[in-house]
Structure 1
Amino acid sequence: MPRTFDDLLARARALTASGQRALLGIAGSPGAGKSTLAEQLVRELNADGWPFAAHVPMDGFHLADAELDRLGRRDRKGAPDTFDAAGYAALLRRLREEPDGEVVYAPGFERELEQPLAGAIPVPPAARLVVTEGNYLLLDTGAWARVRAALDEVWFCELPEEERIRRLVARHEQFGKSPEAALAWSLGTDQRNADLVAATRGRADLVVPATAVPRPV
Structure 2
Amino acid sequence: MTTPFTPTVEELTLADVVAQARTLAVPKTRRILGLTGAPGAGKSTVAAHIVEALGHESAVLVPMDGFHLANEVLLSLGRRDRKGAHDTFDDDGYAHLIERIHAQKQTDAVIYAPVFRREIEEPIGSSIGIHPETPLVVTEGNYLLLDKDAWPKARAAVDTVWFLAPAEDMRHERLIRRHQAYGKSIDDARFWTLGSDQINADLIHSTARHADRVIRIID
TM beyond 0.5: yes
CA distance in 2 between counterparts of 1:59 and 1:34 reads: 11
Task: Report what 1:58 is aligned to.
Answer: 64
Question: In the alignment, is the contact (CA less than 8 A) between 2:26 and 2:135 conserved in 1?
Answer: no
Of 94, 97, 102, which aligns to 1:91?
97
Alignment of 1:35-50 (within 5 A): 35-46=44-55
| Per-residue deviation, 1:22 | 0.4
CA distance in 2 between counterparts of 1:175 and 1:5 reads: 26
Of 192, 196, 203, which aligns to 1:185?
192
Task: Report what 2:145 is aligned to.
Answer: 138
Question: In the alignment, is the contact (CA less than 8 A) between 2:14 and 2:217 conserved in 1?
Answer: no
Task: Report what 1:5 is aligned to.
Answer: 14
Q: What letter matches 2:64 in structure 1? A: M
Question: In the alignment, is the contact (CA less than 8 A) between 2:11 and 2:217 conserved in 1?
Answer: no
Q: What letter matches 2:96 in structure 1? A: A
Question: In the alignment, is the contact (CA less than 8 A) between 1:2 and 1:8 conserved in 2?
Answer: no
Question: In the alignment, is the contact (CA less than 8 A) between 2:25 and 2:59 conserved in 1?
Answer: no
User: Secondary structure of the residue that 1:210 maps to in structure 2?
Assistant: strand
| Per-residue deviation, 1:18 | 7.4
Deviation string, structure 1 residues 184-206 (Cα, Å, up to 9, x no partner): 01111000000000011111111
CA distance in 2 between counterparts of 1:183 and 1:201 reads: 25
Aligned residue-pair number: 209
Alignment of 1:66-105 (within 5 A): 66-100=72-106, 101-105=108-112
Question: In the alignment, is the contact (CA less than 8 A) between 1:169 and 1:183 conserved in 2?
Answer: yes
Question: In the alignment, is the contact (CA less than 8 A) between 2:27 and 2:135 conserved in 1?
Answer: no
| Per-residue deviation, 1:9 | 2.3
CA distance in 2 between counterparts of 1:46 and 1:17 reads: 13
CA distance in 2 between counterparts of 1:52 and 1:17 reads: 8
| Per-residue deviation, 1:6 | 3.1
Question: In the alignment, is the contact (CA less than 8 A) between 1:158 and 1:208 conserved in 2?
Answer: yes
Task: Report what 2:7 is aligned to.
Answer: none
Q: Percent identity?
A: 50
Of 173, 180, 193, which aligns to 1:173?
180
Deviation string, structure 1 residues 90-114 (Cα, Å, up to 9, x no partner): 0000001123321111000101100
Structure 1 stretches of 5 or more lacking a match?
Answer: 213-217
Question: Over aligned residue pairs, what C-alpha RMSD do you find?
Answer: 1.4
TM-score of the aligned structures, taking structure 2 as reference length: 0.91
